[in-house]
Copies of this chain bind each other. A is one copy, B any other.
């Protein structure tokens, strides 16, 4: 039997890192509160408070009410102590944000940026734009605690390197954490764009939901999985790669991966654009599809609804597999009004078993375009404020 429960990672008495976790909820607490909560001695608590005060991560938070005598001082987490740079890179677009250590956005910016320009162009751009944004936020580079970044392709979780990313020529096995970290002098956390969206959407809009699936429908199609409250990445970080699941009945459609009938080849924004342009409509990409739907184009609305049905057919399999209680549909094609989600709902409810769908909600993203940077920020903060990182910082 494995050792389970709270102490599995500790080998000494309550260190600064574990102690700090108690304060992450931002509530002010007195020394007496902290002694009562932890069962540690007065002198240990004093040492921990001093160490964390010296890092700036906690600070005085006024005085508490008292039953008499001098009112005791309280301490609380100071999320503004450091800054985090959060980056969400898409196929043709970049979004950056500077946040505090509670994922509150201090400054944000958007820019067109082609990921296909390769790492030699994109990574220096990220460093430059990141420095400018820090400056705009009134923060020094020395204030930076970490950088979180999402990339539009598979990322090996253990190394932070892209692995054979189909729309990212020149990026295979590139040491993104090493290259960005060398320039900015901080730890760099990398994941795919859909996982950071799932993390951002979950933290921002559905923190009480334990099982959630975030599906991004844009140039490609992918999913991020929250199960039992945490992002699940699988053995190599490739979980959620639903774009190459088979669409029943579409076996004849070739996909760039070499197989046929893949969801991405049938129902992505790119696939819908190609189908519409074969009908003589002007549709080069997902944005054109959304524009056509908004201008009341019947063919475009029908095509998006059918894409929804095809996505729903695959999501029915995901529902059978994972039994989520919420499916969030994000990505630019989700902006095409109700057509996409109506098609998805139709197919999911038709194909899934009652136990799995009786409490299932299928909704559009609430955090919307901000989900990615919120997730990138949360990923970086979870790293910076982990017990081990705080122990090292406070040592």
Chain A positions near chain B (C-beta within 8 angstroms):
1-14, 17-18, 21-22, 24-26, 36-40, 44, 102-103, 154, 156, 163-164, 203, 207, 210-211, 223, 225, 227-228, 230, 232-242, 244-246, 248-249, 251, 257, 259, 261, 313-314, 316-318, 320-325, 350-356, 358-360, 378, 381-382, 385-387
A-B contact pairs, 13 of them (CB 8 A): A1-B24, A2-B25, A3-B24, A4-B21, A6-B387, A164-B355, A211-B234, A211-B235, A228-B230, A234-B324, A238-B353, A238-B355, A244-B320
Q: Does B37 lie within 8 Å of A12, measured CB to CB? A: yes
Q: Does B4 lie within 8 Å of A382, measured CB to CB? A: yes
Query: Shortest distance in angstroms between A97's beta carbon and chain B's nearest beta carbon?
Result: 16
Q: Does A232 lie within 8 Å of B241, measured CB to CB? A: no
| Complex Cα spacing A249 to B260, Å | 13
Chain copies in the assembled complex: 2
Query: Shortest distance in angstroms between A199's beta carbon and chain B's nearest beta carbon?
Result: 12
**Residue in B closest to A101 when the chains form the complex, CB atoms:** B1
* Extra pairs beyond A7-B38, A257-B353 (12, CB < 8 Å): A1-B102, A3-B25, A8-B21, A13-B39, A154-B353, A164-B354, A223-B321, A234-B356, A236-B356, A236-B358, A239-B321, A244-B320
Q: Does B323 lie within 8 Å of A239, measured CB to CB? A: yes
Q: Does B325 lie within 8 Å of A235, measured CB to CB? A: yes
Q: Does A39 lie within 8 Å of B24, measured CB to CB? A: no
Q: Does A39 lie within 8 Å of B40, measured CB to CB? A: yes
| Complex Cα spacing A230 to B320, Å | 19
Across-interface contacts of A9 in B (CB, < 8 A): 6
Across-interface contacts of A38 in B (CB, < 8 A): 7, 13
| Complex Cα spacing A4 to B383, Å | 11
A355 with B2, Cβ < 8 A, contacts A8-B21, A235-B324, A261-B248 known: no
Q: Does B4 lie within 8 Å of A351, measured CB to CB? A: no
Query: Shortest distance in angstroms between A105's beta carbon and chain B's nearest beta carbon?
Result: 14
Q: Which of B12, B18, B164, B248 contacts A5 (CB 8 A)?
A: B18
Across-interface contacts of A321 in B (CB, < 8 A): 223, 225, 239-242, 245, 317-318, 321-322
| Complex Cα spacing A259 to B378, Å | 41
| Complex Cα spacing A320 to B261, Å | 14
Q: Which of B103, B233, B261, B323 contacts A241 (CB 8 A)?
A: B323
Per CB-CB distance, the 5 closest pairs between chain A and chain B, nearest first, are A13-B39, A234-B323, A5-B21, A235-B325, A6-B6
